[in-house]
Structures are given as C-alpha cells and as structure tokens.
Chains A and B, each alone.
Chain A
Amino acid sequence: MNNKVNYTMIGIIVLIGLALISGFTYWMLKPSSDAATQKYLIYFNESVLGLNIDAPVKYRGISVGKVTRLRINPKNTEQVEVTVDILKTTPIKENTVAKLTAQGITGLTYINLTQGKNDAPPLTAKAGQKYPVIKTVPSFFAHFEQSLGDVSTQLVGTLYKTQQLLNTKNQKQIALLLQRTAQMMDKLNRVLDNRTVTHFHSSLKNIDELSYKLDTLVPNINRLVNKSVDWEVKINRSFDAIKGTYFSMDKTMKGMATSFSNSAVTFEKMANTMNNTMLESQNVMSDLQNTLDDFNHNPSAVLYKKTANKPAPGEK
C-alpha cells in the first residue's frame, strides 16, 4: 500500500479550516451596530418573583433587551432595582412604563414596556442618576392583591355592620315587622275577595271606556281649538278696529278739548266784560239813586237850580 501523504497540503488545509472556524466564530460573536444597547434602571415596589437574570424585556411583545442585574435598592429597601439592557433603537420615552408580566404557566416573568403618547420626549438620565430610570406600574397580580385586600377590608366592615344590625333588639323588631306584614297580607287577602276583584275589573272597564270616549272627544277638541283660533283672529281684527275707533275718538276729544279751551278763554273774556259792565251799571244806578234822592229833597231844583261858574285863575 502506497501511503503517500502530502503533509504540506494537510497542514495548509488544516490552517484554512482553522481560519474559517475562527472567522465564523468571530462573525457569530461580533457585536453588531444594531445590537448596541443602553442600560436603564427600573425600580419595582413589588416582588419580582419569577424574574431572572437574562429575562427578556419586551416592548409591546417584541423582545428588545434583557435583565442584567437584580438587587435590593440600596437607598430604599422596599424597592427592587432592576438593571436592563435595551436596544438603543427602542423608543424609550418619558412616559414609557414598565410592568411585570407573567409568562404563561411557567412561573417566569418578563418586563413589558408600554408607551404613552408618541410625542413625549426621549427618556434621559436625570442629574444624580447613573442611568435613565423607567417608571413602573403595578403588575396584574399586585393590582389584584391590592384590590383583594380592599375587598377583604370592606367585607370585614360589612360583616361587622351586619352583625351590629342583627343584634337581639333588631331581630325582635324584624320578627315583629314580619308578623305585621303577615297580618297585613292576610287582611289584604280578605279585602281582595271576589267581589272586590269584580269591582276592580269593572273600574278598569270604565277607565277603558273613558279612554275610548276621550279618544273620540280629542278630534272635537281639536276642531274647537281651530275654531277658537279663527275666533281669536276675528277678535284681533275687531280689537284693531276698536283701537282705530279709539284713536279717532281720542283725536276728536283732543279737538273738542282745544275747542272747549278756546271757548273757555272766550267765555272768560266775555265774563270779564260783563263783570265790568255790571260794575259800571252799579255805579250808574248809584248815581241815579243819588239824583233821585236830590229830586226828592228839592224837586224845584230840577227846573230852577243854577250853579254859578267860578272864574278860573286869571278870569273875571
């Protein structure tokens, strides 16, 4: 058997194989630019039971990172500090919240991120923070547990109040109330005998007939209303006519008032004239009376009396 082995070729092939293996390994382990991550801190106020290192961080169901560290918050022992690596391409914003979510029935837990409004600014590290801190919301179980606690508290309160309500005294009162209710029902049963039920039926029948008559009456009422509207229109016209007459009368009355006023002035003038005339007549009558008195005293003076003229100054 001719065993001719080309050791040089083998060595070259082995070297090429090693080089390929090294290249493949490097290709596989080479950090990608898309896989560039950003560290974030999440502080949970509840138990993170089921959340492990390398547990996934999902953004609306898409795996965008993983948990890299879990520890109790050194500054607040009631909180759990979770450090996560999330792809930089993930839109983590100020209103993004983290929530612990159970993964089926396996008991494992992952962190689910939910975003609020789209126009919120990107989340950045505040002063004094090493990494940006994502806000949290209680998980379903925490919420359920809290609600359960509230229900339990309210149930205890309700039971206590029920116990107080059902004390001995109230039990007696309730028993009395039930007894009286039974008595009342018994009386009601006696009242609602066949005769009463018959009367009740008769009353219902009368109401039915009344409704029928009312239905018949409604059209008549409608006709009456229509006629009333017509009548109202006629009345309005009559009122307008009366109004016009009134205005005419008012005008006439004003004219009469003016005439009366003028007449009053004229009458007043006439009365004044008559008054003056009467006064003059009175004076004339007085003079006449004096003349008659003179005549009575000396009748011959009417014929024979002569008064001498007194010469005026400068006259003889």
Chain B
Amino acid sequence: MRYILAILLVAVFVGCTTTYPPVTEYRIEALPKRVNFKQSSCKAHSLKVSQVFVKSALMSKKMKYVVNAYEEYAYNQSEWAEDPNKAITDVLVSDLEQTGIFDTVTSYKSFSSSDYTLECRIADFTQYFTENEKHSFVKIAMTFTLIDNKTAKVIATKTIQDKMDTKQADAKSGVVALNRLLQKSLVSLNSWLAGSCR
C-alpha cells in the first residue's frame, strides 16, 4: 500500500510538471577600448571604487524591460549572468585599472585605504519597448561622485545620460546596446576623472 501511494504521488508530480524553455544568461561587459591617460592629475593618488547604488530591479539577475514607458516585465528566457550592480562595479574597476588614471585602483572589498573614493549611482539601465513591442531602445543614466577621503567631502560630480536604438526588438539586441552605451559612458567617465583630482 505504501508503495502504491508513493507511485501515485510521483505520477501526479510528473504528470503536472510544466516544462519551460531554456534560459539564456547575458553578461555585462564593456568592450575593450584602451586609452592610456599619460597626463592625469590623479597619477599620484589611489582610488577605491564603491559598489554602485541601484534600484532593486538591478539587484537581481532577472532582466527587466519596460513597455510604453510604465509597464515593467521580465524576460522569461533571458537573464543576467550576474546582478547588474555587481557586474557594473567590476567593469568600472577593470576599466580604471587599464586606463592608468590613478596610481592604484581597488575594489570596495579591499582593506587598503585610498586617497579618493568613487561612488556611482545608476538611475537607469533598461531596455524600453514601444507599445506594439516592435521597436526598442536602451537608456542609461549614471551619476559619479569623487570623494576626498581625508576630508570626506565631494570634490567633483559627473552625470552621464544616453540612449540608443536596438537593432531588433529582443533581449539580445538590448544587451548589446546596453554594453555599447556602458562603454561610451566609461570613455566620458575617464576624461572627467583625469582632470578632477586636486
């Protein structure tokens, strides 16, 4: 009897199981575009990059999109490979290490002290669809703040806003467009940082 009940339970579970299509995970990666800043006012200083401040939608692997400006949904078959806030923080650290604007660049996890701290707040990092969902574009809005650790005062701020149409109205094209916009924003960030130290 016991065996019969177990077999019936398994049959119910198997019979009711709904199979979903496979999920594609996308990475946030700024395409490499090396620019070495030989003349920088920050050459003799160190920088620590804090974790970016984001809204809760960007603290999840779920890839959200917006339709008609106000309706927000999540892709069923597409996800971020890593939470966007963590991924963008890593991208910032890697980019600043490669440009050589600062003597040393460390992540927020490091115990070392530094001369400056770079804070970043991401207000928007989303793909937008038209009402009929046949066209889409991506929008990015980031605010950077450079803080002098000796005085704990803000010495410079920079806001970057941009948007770009996607090739197709799907998740993959949205990810490609978002990565390009991120790369473009990093170029502006580097130029601003190179002249911001005192």
Known: A283-B59, A289-B56, A290-B62. A308 touches B20 (CB 8 A): yes
B21 pairs with A308, CB closer than 8 A: yes
Interface-side segment among B11-19, B35-43, B123-131, B161-169: B11-19
Known: A286-B56, A290-B62. A304 touches B18 (CB 8 A): yes
Shortest Cβ distance from residue A309 to the other chain B in the assembled complex, whole angstroms: 6
Contact count band on A: 20 to 34
A307 pairs with B20, CB closer than 8 A: yes
Partner of B18, one of A283, A286, A289, A305: A305
B111 pairs with A303, CB closer than 8 A: no
A304 pairs with B56, CB closer than 8 A: no
B51 pairs with A279, CB closer than 8 A: yes
Shortest Cβ distance from residue A55 to the other chain B in the assembled complex, whole angstroms: 112
B83 pairs with A307, CB closer than 8 A: no
Q: Does A130 contact B (CB under 8 A)?
A: no
Number of B interface residues, CB 8 Å? 24
A306 pairs with B60, CB closer than 8 A: no
Residues of A within 8 A of B51 (CB): 279
- Near A by CB (< 8 A), chain B positions 62-114 give 62, 83, 85-86, 108-111, 113
Q: Does A269 contact B (CB under 8 A)?
A: yes
Task: Report 12 cross-chain contacts, Cβ distance below 8 Å, ordered by A residue.
Answer: A276-B109, A279-B108, A282-B59, A283-B86, A300-B16, A304-B13, A304-B17, A304-B18, A305-B17, A307-B22, A310-B22, A310-B24
Residues of A within 8 A of B (CB): 268-269, 272, 275-276, 279, 282-283, 286-287, 289-290, 300-301, 303-310
Residues of B within 8 A of A (CB): 13, 16-24, 51, 56, 59-62, 83, 85-86, 108-111, 113
